[in-house]
Amino acid sequence: MWLFAGNGLWYLISQTDTLTRVVLGLLLTVSLLCWTIFLAKMIILLLKQRQLKKVEKRIKHITSVQDLLVLATESSGTLPGYYLSKTLVSLKALLVVDKIHAMPTMTQRQWEIFQQHAQQTIDDVIMHEESYLAILSTSAAVSPLLGLFGTVWGLIHAFMSIADKQTADIATIAPGIAQALTTTLAGLLVAIPALVMFNVCQMQLRSIEQRLIIIADKVILTGHQLVAD
């Protein structure tokens, strides 16, 4: 608290030039943006994790395509419900009616196409969930460089001050160097949390992808029952 109320960090910031304040303002904006994206993503991803866990437990007892239809209907409005609906629509488009037994069926080639579509749907879902995460990774990479830019700019001013006063004692150079290093500190305070946020979100996405693969395997296994011998 002393840093901001006394002659500490807040005082240093108040003494900086316009460009340094712009750099600090950009870093503050980036930090707020990262935290907003992270908190929103975590709420959404944790909710979808819960939805997937629920469907994953139920799908273990599925034995027919009709059961899958019922589960997809009951899970409407959720991520697993969306996935089941997309894959079942694809399955329906590939089915043909066996004229002898009057039963829907599909060829081996059609079943392979269905498998590919099931996997592609997972890729599409994960790609959609990864939206805005690039901002976190970019912020983690760019923030230290932005802080370093402010540091170099501040050091230039510190050396210019030495030249003007014709002295290099500690009282002359310390304030300028301290102001310059403030941007480095700010850059690290933005980059480190952003990198952690990105990795946490990536872990959640990998978990969601794995659960979708488990559901997809069960759907594909159920759909294989319709393949003509």
pLDDT of 99: 44
Checking if the pLDDT of 228 tops 70, the result is: no
Say yes or no to pLDDT of 225 above 80. Answer: no
Q: Spell out the domain ranges in the chain.
A: 16-223
Query: What 8-state DSSP symbol labels residue 195?
Result: H
For CA atoms 186, 188, 192, 194, the dihedral sign is positive
Tens of pLDDT along 54-90? Answer: 999 998 888 888 888 899 899 889 999 999 999 988 8
Residue 150 class from Cβ within 10 Å (0-12 exposed, 13-18 middle, 19+ buried)?
buried
Q: What is the dihedral of CA 162, 164, 167, 171, to 10 degrees?
A: -60
Res 2: pLDDT: 37
pLDDT at 4: 42
User: 221 pLDDT band (50/70/90 cuts)?
Assistant: confident
**pLDDT given for residue 123 in this prediction:** 92
133 Cβ neighbours under 8 A, 6+ residues apart: 37, 41, 198, 201, 202, 205
For the cut 60, the answer to whether the pLDDT of residue 6 exceeds it is no
Is 89 or 199 the better-scoring residue by pLDDT? 199
Given a cut of 60, whether residue 7 has pLDDT beyond it is no
Handedness of CA 101, 107, 113, 115 (dihedral sign): positive
Integer Cα distance of 159 and 16 in angstroms? 15
What is the model's pLDDT at position 135?
Answer: 94
Per-residue pLDDT reduced to its tens digit, 137-191: 999 999 999 988 888 877 777 777 666 766 656 665 666 677 778 888 889 999 9
Query: What are phi and psi for residue 104, nearest 5 degrees?
Result: -70, 140
Split at pLDDT 50, 70, 90, the class of 213 is very high
The token pair that represents 51 in the structure block: 């939805």
Nearest to 150, CA basis, from 34, 21, 33: 21
Is 110's pLDDT higher than 50? yes
pLDDT tens digits, one per residue of 87-106 = 988 888 877 654 444 456 77
Mean pLDDT of the chain: 83
**Comparing C-alpha atoms, which of 144, 132, 141, 161 is closest to residue 23?**
144
Helix/strand/coil (H/E/C) assignment for every residue in 45-69: HHHHHHHHHHHHHHHCCCCCHHHHH
Whole-angstrom Cα distance, residue 70 to residue 63? 12
